[in-house]
Amino acid sequence: MVEEVLKYTLPALFTFLATYLVMHKFLVNERLKLKSEAVRDNQKIIAPLRLQAYERMVLLLERIQPNALVMRCQQEGMSCSDFQLLMLKTIRSEFDHNLTQQLYISDNAWEQVRMAKDGCVLLINRVALLVKPNQPSIHLSKLILETMMTEGKDPTVKALACLKDEIRELF
């Protein structure tokens, strides 16, 4: 009687086990396929956002370059101290406006952008110490441009290069 039961149950168990293993493998493969499709679909959405973030970071760096700031913020009748404050406020505003873009760029690129911003602020503050606060702003403008020319350093150059390199790698 036991032999009779085993004669029917063992083949059924083997059939069940084989079916289970085949179905399990099939379902695992299906999950992987769905996951890769989801990743591919996400890339279609994320890639344009990432590219836009890199574009915005390049624009930010171009806008906070000291020579660009001097040209954009210069106003007749402004004192050096007012001019310094306006440039610093402009840098801070531009940076704050683009803070969320760090989600879409690499940590290294964000760090380079942040260091460029800090470098611009440092340059403006360092040069502003060399002029009298109540002098016309043209003195500070001239000194910033001269300092950049003599030192040959634009705080944004390294960050711009980093962003361009990453864009080349991504796309």
pTM of the model: 0.76
Tell me 152's DSSP state. Answer: -
Q: How far is CA 127 from CA 39, 130, 150, 157, in A?
A: 49, 5, 13, 19
Distances, alpha carbon 29 to alpha carbons 19, 44, 62, in Å: 15, 23, 48
For 32, counting Cβ atoms within 10 Å of its Cβ (0-12 exposed, 13-18 middle, 19+ buried), the class is exposed
pLDDT in tens, 57-88: 999 999 999 999 999 999 999 999 999 999 99
Q: What is the pLDDT of residue 95?
A: 97
Mean pLDDT of all residues belonging to the chain: 92
The residue-averaged pLDDT of 29-33 equals 93
- Count CA within 13 A, CB hemisphere, residue 72: 14
Residues 88-99: tens digit of each pLDDT? 999 999 999 999
